Structure 1
Amino acid sequence: MDLTVIWAFIIAFAVFAYVVMDGFDLGIGILFPTLRVGQGRDRAMNSIAPVWDGNETWLVLGGGGLFAAFPLAYAVVLPATYPLIIAMLLGLVFRGVAFEYRWRDPAHRPFWDAAFFGGSLVAAMAQGMTLGALLQGVEVVERAYAGSWFDWLTPYTLLCGLGVVAGYALLGSTWLIWKLDGGAQKHARWLALRAAIATIVLMGAVSLYNIFLNAEYAERWLTAPEIYFAAPVPIITAIIAVSMLRAIGTDRNSKPFWLSIALFLFGMLGLGVTMWPYVVPPGLTIWDAAAPERSQIFMLVGVAITMPLIIAYTAWAYWVFRGKVSDEGYH
């Protein structure tokens, strides 16, 4: 068995879990100004209060796993995206502080609400632009980053950032459809429809941009025999998108959220088809950046123990706090 490939899938799973789980509470932050001051915002916050902090466990696992399993990739990607990583972390800090203090400091609640929105928006935009910076290619010379401080700032990375913001807003609004009722749920459906359309359009724009961004990317999607393996991804994605739009417009509660997760899953599969086997396009493959085999084996034992525990307590938390959220909390 190729341990490097196994570790690539472990990191990909951790990133996907983070994007989905922290994505919906970041999405609620992005949508916060559109929610009614008072009861509307309080119920939205209560819907994620039991789980939002644990969701960020996956960010630690993904980042720590990248450092441990692919140290060269970590050493290249961070210098290439330092401003974005710093902005993301500051956004997450502001979002976390605002989450706690808006309850404990009601006299300044408008300020904390603005901080919650701003931190969520900055974190989501930075994550999307980091993805775009990676996809557009990172200049590597002698196993070190050789680009400038602002190579990450391009129209393509801005487009990717907007796509992630729209996608997180979709996750957040469909989560609220599931967790709220009455007028708040109706408003969440209104938001979800618009977020879904924006997400689909931006996903399509990024996908088309990828074809012109890199000749190797175009070859993956447009030439035989690669096209036969890649074609099912956009076809299934389109089916999921149509089903999600229909579910948002009906009385379904949880279905729009699960379909939005499926949309993200196939979006990530599309990225995998585009990038494989590079971890830092266009020059570093997963095997170039991998840690020694003994290190991979040692870490794999730890992950085999800790990851099932993380999944178990995460599932337990979501099960305990299932159901709708009223003014008093879960019921």
Structure 2
Amino acid sequence: MYDFTYLWVGIIGFGLLMYVLADGFDLGVGMLFPFAADEQERDVMMNSVAPVWDGNETWLILGGAGLLAAFPLVYTVFLPALYIGVFLLLAGLIFRGIAFEFRFKASPEKRHWWNAAFSIGSFVAAFAQGAVVGSYIQGFKTENMRYVGGAFDWLTPFTVMTGLGLVVGYALLGATWLVLKTEGTLQERVRGWARKLLLTVMVFFVIVSVWTPMLDSYVHSRWFGNVSWLWVIPALTAVLAGLLWNWLKTGREALPFIGTIALFALFYGGLLFSKWPYVVPPKYTFHDAASAPESQLFLLVGVLFVIPFVLMYTAWTYYVFRGKVRAGAGYH
């Protein structure tokens, strides 16, 4: 029987990256909501993501379901270890999802409640995702392939820092999306937000890059051992950040968003290569966590059939709703 483990690593890694990029910018727009000048600007901001936000979360379902099927040990450890963090993530997504539907139906004097639900839900979901990533980096207490730590082991100074770092990163992604989708005064103000957020993201990048090898000896040996080619990632990150700053200052519209996507891809690659091949650090590799080859093959047939259709309808949605979003255009 063939080994499909690394093929599943690629599929789930692709699904999670697509979720981070796609849902990340609409979470970012939600967190920028309180800084809009008035309700008209908030209408434009929400309308920029309204046609695509629910489709973006398809990737979370695909990645999560694939992870359960292909690497059941991950669920065995992650769910009890991250129960509270995952609950906060889902609660945040529910609050912001409800706000999408009810904000435009609410009376003007009650709309601020839905504004708050959209913004706070976006912040909580983004922070929880960042804390989960931080928990993965710092590792889990396990014995006999079971989690033996406490309910709050996921909440440490390091995970709080990674949670806030992802909040700022998503806000940058949201700001560059708004640069692409808006115009006039709002667009110029968003450019200013994006430049400040880019500087803050790079500060968090430096902190994570210094703190992670101090926290994990395995990561330290990866980066400071004989795998010198890994230093290409931070070098490219620094170059890309400089280009992104220039694009924001020179009035480019599409390039800042594309550049931010590439920046996230580099962060994602750096994390993956730092911990490879461990999926449940510090003990269990992808092969340790994998389901039987027969199960992987059975599910692979369905997933490889579904992914092209998801990509096609996603591309079609973005194509249909391309262009600028203007005030008074209405809820899509």
AA in 2 matched with 1:28: V
Cα offset for 1:2? 4.0
Matched, 1:327 2:327: yes
Distance 2:173 2:3 in 1: 34
Partner residue in 1 for 2:157: 155
SS state of the match for residue 325, structure 1?
coil
SS state of the match for residue 231, structure 1?
helix
Instruction: Provide the aligned length of Structure 1 versus Structure 2.
Output: 329
Partner residue in 1 for 2:266: 266
Contact 2:31 2:123 in 1 (8 A): yes
Partner residue in 1 for 2:121: 119
Distance 1:122 1:113 in 2: 14
Partner residue in 2 for 1:36: 37
Alignment TM-score, normalising by the size of structure 1: 0.98
Contact 1:173 1:191 in 2 (8 A): yes
Cα offset for 1:105? 1.1
Alignment TM-score, normalising by the size of structure 2: 0.97
Partner residue in 1 for 2:201: 199
Partner residue in 2 for 1:283: 283
Distance 2:329 2:145 in 1: 52
Distance 1:86 1:327 in 2: 35
- Work out the percentage of aligned pairs sharing the same amino acid: 47
Unaligned runs of 5+ in 1: none
SS state of the match for residue 187, structure 2?
helix
Distance 2:203 2:248 in 1: 17
SS state of the match for residue 279, structure 1?
strand
Partner residue in 2 for 1:72: 73
Partner residue in 2 for 1:94: 95
Distance 1:204 1:16 in 2: 21
AA in 2 matched with 1:12: G
Contact 1:138 1:147 in 2 (8 A): yes
Distance 1:249 1:325 in 2: 22
AA in 2 matched with 1:214: D
Partner residue in 1 for 2:170: 168
AA in 2 matched with 1:44: M
Partner residue in 2 for 1:12: 13
1:216-295 correspondence to structure 2 within 5 Å: 216-224=218-226, 226-227=227-228, 229-295=229-295
Distance 2:236 2:272 in 1: 15
AA in 1 matched with 2:17: F
Cα offset for 1:329? 2.9
Contact 2:71 2:286 in 1 (8 A): yes
Distance 2:246 2:324 in 1: 22
Unaligned runs of 5+ in 2: none
Cα offsets for 1:172-223 (capped at 9, x unmatched): 0000000000001001101111111111110121111111011110010011
CA RMSD of superposed structures (Å): 1.2
AA in 2 matched with 1:167: G
Distance 1:136 1:7 in 2: 24
Partner residue in 1 for 2:310: 310
Cα offsets for 1:134-184 (capped at 9, x unmatched): 110101101110101110111100010011000000000000000000001
Q: Which moved more, 1:180-189 or 1:98-107?
A: 98-107
AA in 1 matched with 2:197: A
Distance 1:206 1:5 in 2: 27
Cα offset for 1:328? 3.4
Partner residue in 2 for 1:105: 106
Distance 1:246 1:133 in 2: 34
Cα offset for 1:251? 1.0
Distance 1:317 1:268 in 2: 25
AA in 2 matched with 1:158: V
AA in 1 matched with 2:179: I
